[in-house]
Amino acid sequence: MSSPIKAETPVMEKIVSLCKRRGFIYQSSEIYGGCGGVWDYGPLGAELKRNLRDAWWRTMTREREDVLGLDACILMNPAIWAASGHVATFADLMRECSLTNKRVRADHVDPQDGIVMNYSGAQSATGWKLPRAIAVLMKKGEHIESFRKRVRLLIASNAGEPAGKPEEIELLDETKGDTVEQSIDYHPETGAALGEARPFNLMLKTYLGPTATEADVTYLRPETAQAIFAQFKNVFDSSRVKVPFGICQIGKAFRNEVTPKNFTFRSREFEQMELEFFIKPDEAVAIISGSVAAWSEGADLSGPKPDWGWEMWHRYWVDQRTKFYQSIGLGDVLEYYWQTPADLAHYARACVDILCEFPFGTEELEGIAARGDFDLSQHQKHSGKSLEIFDEELKTAATALTDEAKEALIQRRLATESAKEKGGLTEVEVRAWFERLFKGFYLPHVIEPSAGLDRMALAVLAKAFYQYEKEDGKGKSETITILRLHPSIAPVKVGVFPLLKNKPELVSKAREVYQLLKGRLNTFYDEAGAIGRRYARQDEIGTPFGVTIDFETLGEQGGELKDTVTVRERDGGAQHRVKISDLAGWLASRL
RNA sequence: GCGGGUGUAGUUCAAUGGUAGAACACGAGCUUCCCAAGCUUGAUACGUCAGUUCGAUUCUGAUCACCCGCUCCA
């Protein structure tokens, strides 16, 4: 009867089109020609995003005893970004390969040896031309023909289709140049000359205060997490919480992305939902509980245990976040990528990317990192303020330890530190740290689940988007579009329709039902057009239920059906006869 | 930022150096109308700015945005 259609137009384009047509997402500043990398949410998009945001906030803090909320400003003291490392890592000098535009950090170019070959340009049989001069390093021992082949290949892959086949590209006016040794002016991979070093600042700079001098420079935050670390001590001191506990925050963040792309997936302004969950260092757990629980496949992650170290907590949060994604209907499109030691930042112990299947590929939705005490220690160092907390239970347990037991803990830590390739602590530093620990003081370690709200919204839209071809009674084929959104996040929960709009009794009854529902659920009233069209309109925006007031409702078919309505399900179109007095409860139990 | 592509009603697409058209969607109306039905009827577009030209949506240039690569990790 129905079958999924083949994509003649790419699915992503259909989704973008639907989003605009029905008021989910518009291009920013469209009447002025747009604005790169930023998008606005229309009426339905705003509802959808709010539902997702609320669901996250509810599960992350309101339904938990151990997580508190925070709502910090986008603007902060710029010293925060120096401490977090963003000023350094987001402002590297970069140089671009003149042939392929691949970028390398100016201070990370491996010196190259070889002979410089110059060309005035290139052209291909297709009529395509590379109009500028190029210089490429022929490496020692590289045969001239294989070198030329390599250059043609690089040109072809960068120019794309217009240049045609690599072998049909002609290199113009070849001249042999200087022999260079240990030069940092050529791209290590391609051998092509590098352009000038240019700063690549991915943070959005702004001025705080009307004078706008260099002294007033600060940045729009590139992530929400740093405010949590900066306010960690205030939250701890004002909330009567004990480690382990978390602080979560939802808010806008800004990055000057080199290439915003894939609709809202990579934007320059986006909304993050981040949790920093603070835990005791494993050594503290060992002192208090006698041992640290080891993770193994199938371990019980249903609820926190006192002997959990960072690894169990990390697994726990991956599990919690997975359950969340299942609750909004994304369970079956998730994938996980466990970063390898080579992927990890030096301060991170583990990081899992939760990936989701999008029409343009499988991409990251959320990252869950175990970051040790890196962030708090950075802010402690840069601010000069102690961010240590005092743990009474730890102090009591440590006091009871024998000196031998203490020394054993220190030795074990020393062994792991010396095994590290870089960043390992010295023995003096380790002993100083344990001295504070045995007195009950430490910087909490952190597990950081960090999710993108805009990505989540795009993910649920992409997952929900479904089209099929249907033949109507006359054999004419039409495309049916349904957004199969999970009812809990659908922007509109129920549509209310009088079967006919020219019958005042039906309309007034329908308005009554609408008034009854709209206080409790986001309800949409529609009387225009045929009933089937109204169902279809709601299907397209993902409304899970439709309520129709018909002549039976008015009692025409006898008293039994009086004051009952047809409730029609979006997925499958099944219909139920429900009493108006039961309607709100009936719907609420299914959302 | 660099290279390639694209830009016409709300959407998806036509055509044209001189008056821009369709389908669907949208508004109004008729119809005891349960899955985008039918009939009547209405509104709406050449991304922006220059140049060539008597005249540009069409040709040229610039610019902006989007898509695909380089990038990136919410």
- Give the CA A28 to C1' B10 distance in Å: 17
> Is there contact between A353 and strand B, defined as CB under 7 Å from any strand atom?
yes
- Give the CA A581 to C1' B27 distance in Å: 35
Cα–Cα distances (Å) from A104 to A101, A163, A451, in that order, read 10, 25, 28
Cα–Cα distances (Å) from A225 to A74, A97, A384, A451, A531, in that order, read 11, 34, 20, 11, 49
The identity of residue A306, as a single letter, is P
**Measured distance CA(A268)–CA(A387) in Å, rounded:** 32
Tokens of A308: 């959990």
- Give the CA A176 to C1' B32 distance in Å: 89
> Is there contact between A63 and strand B, defined as CB under 7 Å from any strand atom?
no
Say if CB A568 and CB A574 are below 8 A apart: yes
Pairing state of beta strands A93-96 and A103-105? antiparallel
Nearest nucleotide by C1' position to the A162 CA atom: B4
- Give the CA A359 to C1' B16 distance in Å: 37
Say if CB A97 and CB A192 are below 8 A apart: yes
- What are A123-149's pLDDT values in tens digits? 777 666 666 677 888 887 788 888 888
For A88, counting Cβ atoms within 10 Å of its Cβ (0-12 exposed, 13-18 middle, 19+ buried), the class is exposed
Residue A109 C-alpha from the chain's centroid: 31
> Is there contact between A53 and strand B, defined as CB under 7 Å from any strand atom?
no
| Positive/negative CA dihedral, A162, A164, A170, A175 | positive
Peptide bond preceding A491: is omega within 30 degrees of 0, i.e. cis? no
**Mind listing the pLDDT tens digit of every residue in chain A (591 residues)?**
233 333 356 788 889 999 999 999 998 888 888 888 899 999 999 999 999 999 999 999 999 999 999 999 999 999 999 898 888 766 666 677 777 666 676 766 777 788 888 887 777 776 666 666 778 888 877 888 888 888 887 777 666 555 667 777 777 788 888 888 888 888 777 778 777 766 667 888 888 888 878 888 889 999 999 999 999 999 999 999 999 999 999 999 998 887 788 899 999 999 999 999 999 999 999 999 999 998 999 999 999 999 999 999 999 999 999 999 999 999 989 999 998 887 787 778 899 999 999 988 889 999 999 999 999 999 999 999 999 999 999 999 999 999 999 999 999 999 988 888 777 889 999 999 999 999 999 999 999 999 999 999 999 999 999 988 876 655 567 788 999 999 999 999 999 999 988 888 899 999 999 999 998 999 999 998 889 889 999 999 999 999 999 988 988 877 788 899 999 999 988 899 999 999 999 999 998
**Measured distance CA(A63)–CA(A65) in Å, rounded:** 7
- What are A429-484's pLDDT values in tens digits? 999 999 999 999 999 999 999 999 999 999 999 999 998 887 665 556 778 899 99
Please list the alpha-helical segments (H only) found in A175-281: 225-230, 232-239
**Measured distance CA(A134)–CA(A118) in Å, rounded:** 6
Phi then psi dihedrals of residue A11, to 5 deg? -55, -40
3 state SS for A384-427: CCCCCEECHHHHHHHHCCCHHHHHHHHHHHHHHHHHCCCCCCCH
**Measured distance CA(A538)–CA(A485) in Å, rounded:** 12
Beginning with the edge strand found earlier in the chain, give each strand of the sheet holding A121-124 in spatial order: A129-130, A121-124, A169-172
- Give the CA A131 to C1' B1 distance in Å: 18
> Is there contact between A159 and strand B, defined as CB under 7 Å from any strand atom?
yes
> Is there contact between A126 and strand B, defined as CB under 7 Å from any strand atom?
no
Q: Which residue is nearest to nucleotide B36 (CA to C1')?
A: A533
- Give the CA A336 to C1' B3 distance in Å: 34
Instruction: Return the SS3 of A108.
Output: helix
> Is there contact between A469 and strand B, defined as CB under 7 Å from any strand atom?
no
Phi then psi dihedrals of residue A227, to 5 deg? -65, -30
- What are A248-257's pLDDT values in tens digits? 999 999 988 8
Cα–Cα distances (Å) from A12 to A308, A366, A466, in that order, read 43, 21, 12
Residue A231 DSSP one-character state: T
Q: Which residue is nearest to nucleotide B74 (CA to C1')?
A: A452
> Is there contact between A501 and strand B, defined as CB under 7 Å from any strand atom?
yes
Nearest nucleotide by C1' position to the A566 CA atom: B34
**Measured distance CA(A300)–CA(A328) in Å, rounded:** 24
> Is there contact between A109 and strand B, defined as CB under 7 Å from any strand atom?
no
- Give the CA A296 to C1' B72 distance in Å: 33
* pLDDT, position A199: 64
Closest CA to A172 of A118, A120, A134: A120
> Is there contact between A280 and strand B, defined as CB under 7 Å from any strand atom?
no
> Is there contact between A189 and strand B, defined as CB under 7 Å from any strand atom?
no
Q: Where do the DSSP E strands lie in A221-292?
A: 245-254, 269-279
> Is there contact between A160 and strand B, defined as CB under 7 Å from any strand atom?
yes
> Is there contact between A573 and strand B, defined as CB under 7 Å from any strand atom?
yes
Nearest nucleotide by C1' position to the A223 CA atom: B74
Cα–Cα distances (Å) from A59 to A69, A202, A228, A280, A512, in that order, read 12, 32, 19, 23, 34
ipTM value for the complex: 0.89
| Positive/negative CA dihedral, A554, A556, A559, A561 | negative
Cα–Cα distances (Å) from A588 to A214, A464, A518, A559, A582, in that order, read 56, 21, 12, 26, 10
Pairing state of beta strands A350-358 and A361-372? antiparallel
Q: Which residues contact A38 (CB under 8 A, 6 or more apart)?
A: A28, A29, A260, A267, A268, A269
Tokens of A269: 């302004």
Tokens of A253: 């963040």
- Give the CA A30 to C1' B19 distance in Å: 30
> Is there contact between A345 and strand B, defined as CB under 7 Å from any strand atom?
no
- Give the CA A34 to C1' B61 distance in Å: 22
Nucleotides of B under 7 A from a protein CB: 1-5, 7, 10-13, 25-28, 30-38, 47-48, 64-74
| Positive/negative CA dihedral, A294, A299, A300, A301 | positive
> Is there contact between A418 and strand B, defined as CB under 7 Å from any strand atom?
no
* pLDDT, position A163: 65
Q: Which residues contact A298 (CB under 8 A, 6 or more apart)?
A: none
- Give the CA A25 to C1' B2 distance in Å: 29
